[in-house]
Amino acid sequence: MNLLCSECSVELSKFEIQLNELYPVGKLYCEFCQTKHERQIIKQIADDEADMHNDYTRELIGDKK
């Protein structure tokens, strides 16, 4: 049974299948798409943390005034 990338339908290599088992994201991705999605996830996390930091900072400033 061949496993295909959910995004570009390329056949996954043994190494890419192992990667998906190590870092399950709910879908099977080839190395290229995996990297692409990781960047999106990292950007999302960075944006979320930036938002949280802003809220926290705003609260601190609010308390002082």
- List contacts with Zn ion (CB under 5 A): 5, 7-8, 30, 33
| Closer residue to Zn ion (CB): 39 or 58 | 39
In sequence order, what are the residues at sequence separation of 6 or more whose Cβ sits closer than 8 angstroms to the Cβ of residue 27?
Answer: 6, 7
Cβ atoms of residues 8 and 33 within 8 Å: yes
Tokens coding 1: 């049974």
Residue tagged 């960075």 (tokens): 46
| Closer residue to Zn ion (CB): 20 or 33 | 33
Shortest gap between Cβ of 37 and Zn ion (angstroms)? 9
Shortest gap between Cβ of 43 and Zn ion (angstroms)? 19
| Closer residue to Zn ion (CB): 9 or 63 | 9
